[in-house]
Amino acid sequence: MQVSSPITGQNNVKILREVLTNDIVNTWKELFGLDIKKEFRGNEKIYLCLCVESGLLFYSPSEVAGSDSLYKSLSEKFDWYYGDDKWEFDIAFDIIKKYNPKSLLEIGAGRGHFIEKIQSLGVSSLGLEFNKEALAFAENKKLPIINSTMESLIFQKKSYDVVVSFEVFEHLTDPKAYLEESLQLLTQNGLMIIAVPNRKSFIRHADVALEMPPHHMLSMDVDFFKYIAKSYNLEILKTLYEPLAEYHIDYYLWMIKQGYLSFTPSRKVNKVISVFLKMFKTLLEIGWIRSLFRGQTIMVVFKKK
């Protein structure tokens, strides 16, 4: 089986494992009440692959990436899908405030929560989004979010001092085009800010439905972003890790438990782990203790040289 890397275009790729799509379909039905079988377009198996050069993990084939209707279903059924209170919003806001740009572009702006926040700085901003439900929400709030593409903005000779994306990059099937188009739109010395799930965070302990196709197609850590900086002649100004969020405590503990049980799946070990995690949860509910543990998201701030 020949697979090419979506970031290098080369076939220096290792297939790490195969995943039965029916298992993912059943998990989505159980967790979310959604039937996603059609999203896999007849593929009974998908493959988790490693781009050896960049360190990027990606799923193949790319055709199993989620459709517009999938994101519509998620956003309509779950209010948390386009959350308005995210760690990365606050951190990016503070960075942008110090940078004092004239213009900003957000890729995958969702319902416009960050665009609305950034407008308080007087920055000329624009968001791109394709989800019709999210677009309608943003339109009702009169936010500058449109259904368009970076390619269209490049054709119009637009440019921006800051280009941001939050929890978008991991959904892509063509990250190379995304980076190249983002940098075409970015002014000299401009900032590109990317926030994604950190694959070396607690999510590594178990398979997570939303971290796999048809939802997520890519998985990254800091080494991948170092590769990006070197490949595109960018300077990394900051690498920031989200502290464990209060609303992720139960999720975090469940992940740890799954990680241990994958090695020693006995009833006795399960009981011991459950007692330990119950005590650990009490500690994590204390804010300053929880802040010592890394959460799910990594955010990288690049500067275009």
Q: Which tens digit of pLDDT belongs to each residue from 259-286? A: 665 556 667 777 888 888 889 899 999 9
**Domain match, 210 and 127 both:** yes
- Same domain? For 239 and 251 the reply is no
Which tens digit of pLDDT belongs to each residue from 120-132? Answer: 999 999 999 999 9
- HEC profile of the chain: CCCCCCCCCCCCEEEEEEEEHHHHHHHHHHHHCCCCHHHHCCCCEEEEEEECCCCCEEEECHHHCCCHHHHHHHHHHCHHHHCCCCHHHHHHHHHHHHHCCCEEEEECCCCCHHHHHHHHHCCEEEEECCCHHHHHHHHHCCCCEECCCHHHHHHCCCCEEEEEEECCHHHCCCHHHHHHHHHHHEEEEEEEEEEEEECCCHHHHCCCHHHCCCCCCEEECHHHHHHHHHHCCEEEEEEEEEECCHHHHHHHHHHHHHHHHCCCCCHHHHHHHHHHHHHHHHHHCCHHHHCCCEEEEEEEEEEEC
| Pair 239, 285 in one domain | no
For the chain, give the percent of residues with pLDDT over 90. 75
Q: Does 195 share its domain with 271?
A: no
Which band of pLDDT confidence, cut at 50, 70 and 90, is reported for residue 65?
A: very high
132-140 and 68-77 helices, crossing angle to 10°: 50
> Do residue 19 and residue 122 come from a single domain?
no
Q: Report whether pLDDT(1) > 90.
A: no
Together in a domain, 178 and 208: yes
Whether the predicted pLDDT of 23 surpasses 90 = yes
CATH code of the domain containing 149: 3.40.50.150
The total of structural domains in the chain comes to: 3
Together in a domain, 151 and 282: no
128 and 157 within one domain: yes
* 6 belongs to a structural domain: no
**224-244 residue pLDDT tens:** 999 999 999 999 999 999 999
Residue 3 lies in a domain: no
Q: If 0-12 CB within 10 Å is exposed, 13-18 middle and 19+ buried, where does residue 160 land?
A: buried
- pLDDT of res. 85: 81
How confident is the model at residue 205, as a pLDDT? 66
| pTM of the predicted protein model | 0.91
Say whether both 194 and 268 belong to one domain: no
In a domain, 7, yes or no: no
Least confident of 10-19, 157-166, 206-215, 252-261: 252-261
Q: Which domain holds residue 41?
A: 13-68
Query: 31 and 125: one domain?
Result: no
pLDDT at 302 over 70: yes
**Do 91 and 229 belong to one domain?**
yes
Q: Are residues 24 and 55 in the same domain?
A: yes
